[in-house]
Structure 1
């Protein structure tokens, strides 16, 4: 890999392009150059696997280049937005990297969104073209037709009955490809807002390349990373590009299924994975778990939602390899890791700030809180704020929202506000207490749900729980617990309330406990307390 870093175009031949995978003065390497380098050094090695289909590095490079040339032939270029709506597939991978290889910006759309929301996203990002997986169904096809965006149907070769393969071959085979620059927009990821239009999070090529090449995950050309979250999620994209940068193999599941996941992990000797807590819960509860050979795992990560300490302990006891809890935002800026096996006494925390990341707390007035305890010896509590090399460029066409998330220090350095309330212990480990908008204010006292939820989760009969604030004529708000029983267990709501109240402070005592069949969670396991609170406050408003 010795071609000068000043190269501005990638030649047509696969072997020739591989040499461009050297960093420029800033350390930047475009993703197409990384793929080209692996195509030369390991042409028959598997880059991606979906079901029984595979893409070796040589074929991946050829097809990504084809997609880029076909896009360019259709007038798509630097800064243009190209959307992708579909389930994980080899064609999805080709489209994703083909889009960014032509200096356009990929917009991975959530298959879980409504047709109306998706149509609004297409209009918001001003997509020039939409790659659509026929497996999304007729409603999505009709939505795409209404959007007036040009549509290319894609899927697995030979099965989709669409026009993707012919379209991919439509570009001039010898046309040179421009090299992406660090300041180019890599993607727009729409946040999973519960109300209103989700915000589009813009990441640049330089930021994504830094993510792909950072240390600490042990990726290598021998890695086999098993991913089962959606392609439009940062939970998938981040470990995927890390594996790709190091020449490893990515194993993508079209849809998560606990039994199939365990079978794939054992048969393919998966070494790495990224899962959300609800997936770990389903895997640990699956009857095949203890009989599955997971001994090849080197690193398993969890992100997307808080994980309780009891589940972390169970993972350490039953799942081989390192377990890393990752706390952060798709917007970037704040990043903490908990290497659970190395710190078994800190399982109630989300770890410490990652090397190169600055994380601290601010008070309600926006002032930075000093580390340590206050004058009365109590750990300081505030909103979590931070900065890192992995930060978004901003929200797409939302300067108001971009300004709202940013916080500047005395030197004028920009940080991101998380909206999370937390506290650091004496060893620098961060404990999350609540979302700032979810803090319960009862009789003038701030009550943090996490403290009460930690007690609830210790009860043998509680499988899932959430504590919210509900209207109180006497106190303004009072904490209410919503719980789900473990299979086979029967919860006495009054007895559980009294059990919790005997262990918490006077101001934290529960008004009541309600037993639910389930708590509504997103595909990434996130719980919307705003949604849970709404019926209680609507009822109070109507009274």
Structure 2
């Protein structure tokens, strides 16, 4: 680790930290060797098989030259081989860096250099992103691995676990470093949502995304079963959910919306669901109400950052009257808002959200200056993570997220939060999705422009009139543009910079 890196100390918790994940995998392999751990199509990997394969891969990596805390980078899909490489890297004492298979070879080369990967693996899905890099064949990994001939490393809580690269929606991807303590505490947080040995988790998002890992890693620790879906489609997802009597799933809002809109949804047996989880992007009130009304099982929204520090949990089922919020701060965490001069604001006032919790990243990989910029240091010298979001905490402790700081619209000296305008548009029955951005205005400096997708034909001017009738005078939308689809990252976040690009000079987008 770069010695110039700020030392980020998470909130302490009483008692020992959870057992390392490879240790838990071995426990499940010994206790339930024939129970299914991973299901892909008709192929089943049992817990006994997974534990043995993990240790064979760990030994193989060590023979290839992997040393304690070295990085293994991967370019792979949602497959048992990819997950086994992840676990084998941890068992070998290494740090795993799953990279985006949709990235260009130039970006991938930069990420590999950034994390100083000692070994690179790729499967068929990741080959196109390799460029001039040479990688070990991921598909041959289990065949080439042999049993361990000596003891595997002992893992400490502060050893590296993984490096997750940000999506780059607000700039170049940053490598977010987690240790075993971070992931162990994150796993413990999921215990209240029915994560146990009887659970069956449907995985339909990429391994390189923290959205996936926030549910998949706790499921592996609990000893349940993961049903893998290499590429999401709503009809196939519903069929898998019914066939395998899925109890848990983590999806992003655009996936939940597509599932509810699928013609097979209402005829699909989803009665076995215990908990549905959503993260990565906001759940709008209209989508939340639809999920509560039509989809069985508890519905929980997770608001947070891959970096940790800032985190809220919203049990929509328990609080159906608070759907305009992202819930209350996670156990052991704290939130506050800062004014423009970084001064803490009284509760209830809108400012940038900062937080501390029991899970906080080690830092950005080989980027001490970026790490410092991500932190706010209080008068006692304690580090808080900056969220980049504007919001307020109400009297009951529920967090209202208003906007990204860079997405806030300043029109005529008034700050306008896009979420308020988007929610006003979503009250129209024809509007499926809405995204509001700032565009230049000779009169006001900036003015709100809305992009919408429709579920039924509607006149854009009528939509504008409908929304503006529900907004204050300073919030009025100047124009509505109907589009077939909103630009999104692979994990479902709306790319507002792509919407802004035609309207602004490059530095504004």
Distance in 2 (alpha carbons) for counterparts of 1:310 and 1:343: 15
More divergent stretch after superposition (504-513 vs 25-34): 25-34
Report the alpha carbon displacement of residue 116 of structure 1 after superposing the two structures with TM.
1.7
Distance in 2 (alpha carbons) for counterparts of 1:54 and 1:213: 27
Secondary structure of the equivalent of 1:177?
Answer: coil
Report the alpha carbon displacement of residue 194 of structure 1 after superposing the two structures with TM.
3.4
The answer on 1:223 being equivalent to 2:234 is: no
What is the 5 A alignment of 1:357-506? Answer: 357-372=333-348, 380-486=349-455, 489-506=456-473
1:154 corresponds to = 138
Distance in 2 (alpha carbons) for counterparts of 1:403 and 1:140: 31
2:129 corresponds to = 140
Distance in 2 (alpha carbons) for counterparts of 1:207 and 1:194: 24
Q: Give 1:534's match in structure 2, choosing from 476, 501, 504.
A: 501
Distance in 2 (alpha carbons) for counterparts of 1:517 and 1:264: 28
1:314 corresponds to = 290
Structure 1 runs (4+) greater than 4 angstroms displaced: none
Report the alpha carbon displacement of residue 195 of structure 1 after superposing the two structures with TM.
6.4
The answer on 1:177 being equivalent to 2:152 is: yes
Report the alpha carbon displacement of residue 164 of structure 1 after superposing the two structures with TM.
2.4
Gap change, CA 1:446 and 1:168, over 3 Å in 2: same
> What RMSD over aligned residues (CA atoms) do the two structures have, in Å?
1.7
Bigger relative contact order (CA 8 A; separation at least 6): 2
Report the alpha carbon displacement of residue 539 of structure 1 after superposing the two structures with TM.
9.8
1:338 corresponds to = 314
1:12 corresponds to = none
Distance in 2 (alpha carbons) for counterparts of 1:339 and 1:460: 26
Is the Cα–Cα contact under 8 Å of residues 310 and 335 in structure 2 kept in the other structure? yes
More divergent stretch after superposition (212-221 vs 286-295): 212-221
The answer on 1:167 being equivalent to 2:155 is: no
CA deviation vs aligned residue, 1:313-352 (integer Å, no higher than 9, x gap): 0101111110001100111111111111111111111111
2:490 corresponds to = 523
CA deviation vs aligned residue, 1:489-529 (integer Å, no higher than 9, x gap): 22212222222222211111111111111110112211122
2:228 corresponds to = 252
TM-score, normalised to structure 2's length? 0.94
CA deviation vs aligned residue, 1:127-155 (integer Å, no higher than 9, x gap): 11111111334x335x1xx12x4x22123
Distance in 2 (alpha carbons) for counterparts of 1:179 and 1:32: 10
Q: Which runs of 5+ in 2 are unaligned?
A: 1-13
What is the 5 A alignment of 1:26-175? Answer: 26-137=16-127, 139-141=128-130, 143=131, 146-147=132-133, 149=134, 151-155=135-139, 163-169=140-146, 173-175=148-150
Report the alpha carbon displacement of residue 196 of structure 1 after superposing the two structures with TM.
5.0
Q: Which runs of 5+ in 1 are unaligned?
A: 1-23, 156-162, 373-379
Larger Rg: 1
2:163 corresponds to = 188
Secondary structure of the equivalent of 2:184?
Answer: helix
Distance in 2 (alpha carbons) for counterparts of 1:173 and 1:324: 41
Secondary structure of the equivalent of 1:32?
Answer: helix
Distance in 2 (alpha carbons) for counterparts of 1:330 and 1:249: 24
Distance in 2 (alpha carbons) for counterparts of 1:248 and 1:39: 12
Secondary structure of the equivalent of 2:96?
Answer: strand
The answer on 1:511 being equivalent to 2:478 is: yes
